[in-house]
Amino acid sequence: MTQQGSEINTSTTPYFTSDHEMMRSTIRRFIEEQVTPYADQWEEDGFVPRAVLEEMGSLGLLGIRYDGEYGGSELDTLATVILAEELGRSTFGGFAITVLVHTDMASPHLHHAGTPKQLQRHMPDIIAGKKIAAVAMTEPDAGSDLASMRTTARRDGDFYVLNGAKTYITNGIYGDVYFVAAKTGTSGRGHHDISMFIVEKDTPGFSVAKPLKKHGWLSSDTAELSFQDCRIPVENLLGIENKGFFSLVKNLQNERIVLGAQAMGEASKAIELTLDWVSQRKAFGATLWDKQAIRQRLAMLATKVEAARQLIYNTAWRDTQGQILTKEVSMIKALCGELVNEVMYDCVQFHGGSGFIRETAVERMSRDARVQSIGGGATEVMLEEVAKRLI
């Protein structure tokens, strides 16, 4: 059975240029040669080797939308979508999120708000993969409700003194530069009291408190971070004091498009793997594909994934036009986070017992997908964002 129908055919869309298609081919080839043969070991080790990220940097894949003066490629949101989609198709969610946090969830805070000195100090190495970036917002008692965070930063002469804890931080163990949200204001107005800081790995008072063992994304290093009288130079304030929440919000549009694209890359690949399986596996004298219930269910899943993908492409294109798309990106995050789990459930089911065995790609992918409806904005929070904009 041919699987051509489930491949992404960019020539049939109005969105992608030849440069986009060339980049897609580069990423796909890199994954085939440098990721697939080795990523099972990364799952065992609990992290992606930094040499792999440096190789991605040398190919121009870690600075897709950043300025050329720092080594960036100066491409657009659609190029970022291609990166996320192809990383999702790798079947290793931990590898994918390691890269995407670095490129599209952490380093954009520096790109958007950094001073020329801050940019020159960090951005070239971030784009080259020599410094790995993380963003630290979530706390043990504060997730989506950032206004309730307890980490504080008190001004003391030429320093800020940070105290508190962050948790569920991707790239938390092996990161080099962290963009940390903390309360600096005392107005009591929540979002108006938050600032962002650049914290480097070797800063006294900063430590990795605890590596975290996860249900999925096993090759993504995740940690709880501790700040105990951590003295940050004033020049490490990122952006304007007490305006950090608005810096965080600024990147949410891009972040949610990217997470949706990653999820749909995962979903489309899982469908392809399952189509291969059901076309060969026999039961009761015929292949599973010959069972109407199975092939119609896969047809419906493929239809939903294609519809979601087109929503992502259109929204990404509109983002390149400078449009504010809070409703649409919230729709993407809610829809794709739920849909990828729906796809994985049925793909495991149709693989039968093999879908429950660790050596099977769909088993790993089903574990990795579970967090897609949680991380980056839980489905329930996203639906509230949509609902507020319906009337």
> Is 30 in the same domain as 40?
yes
> Is 253 in the same domain as 335?
yes
> Is 297 in the same domain as 365?
yes
**The last residue of a domain, from among 106, 132, 158:** 132
**The last residue of a domain, from among 242, 264, 299:** 242
- Give the pLDDT of residue 378: 94
> Is 350 in the same domain as 291?
yes
> Is 150 in the same domain as 191?
yes
State the catalytic residue, choosing from 224, 255, 266, 363: 255
What's the pLDDT band for 2 if we cut at 50, 70, 90? very low
Query: What stretch of H or E contains 162?
Result: strand 159-170
> Is 260 in the same domain as 342?
yes
What's the pLDDT band for 3 if we cut at 50, 70, 90? very low
Number of domains in the chain: 3
Burial per residue of 152-176, b for 16 or more beta-carbon CB atoms within 10 angstroms, e otherwise: bbeeeeebbbbbbbbbbbbbbbbbb
Active site residue 363: no
Mean pLDDT value across the chain: 93
Q: What is the CATH number of the domain that holds 292?
A: 1.20.140.10
> Is 272 in the same domain as 372?
yes
- Give the pLDDT of residue 1: 41
What's the pLDDT band for 269 if we cut at 50, 70, 90? very high
- The region that residue 281 occupies, defined by phi over 0 for left and psi between -120 and 50 for alpha, beta otherwise, is beta
> Is 161 in the same domain as 224?
yes
Q: How far apart are the first and last CA of the chain?
A: 47
pLDDT above 80 (res 8): no
Q: pLDDT of 47-103, one tens digit each?
A: 999 999 999 999 999 999 999 999 999 999 999 999 999 999 999 999 999 999 999
In angstroms, what CA-CA distances link 11 with 19, 22, 80, 250, 266? 12, 12, 18, 32, 21
What are the backbone angles phi and psi of residue 132, rounded to the nearest 5°?
-95, 135
Using the 8-state DSSP alphabet, how is residue 161 labeled?
E
Query: What domain range is 180 assigned to?
Result: 134-242
> Is 255 in the same domain as 382?
yes
> Is 93 in the same domain as 214?
no
Q: pLDDT of 220-230, one tens digit each?
A: 999 999 999 99
What's the pLDDT band for 140 if we cut at 50, 70, 90? confident
- Give the pLDDT of residue 144: 66
Q: What is the CATH number of the domain that holds 108?
A: 1.10.540.10
pLDDT above 70 (res 193): yes
Directed axis angle between helix 252-280 and helix 361-369, to 10°?
Answer: 150
Share of the chain above pLDDT 90, in %: 87
> Is 257 in the same domain as 376?
yes
CB 77 within 8 A of CB 255: no
**The last residue of a domain, from among 73, 104, 132:** 132
Quick one: average pLDDT of 328-347? Answer: 98
- Give the pLDDT of residue 249: 83
> Is 227 in the same domain as 253?
no
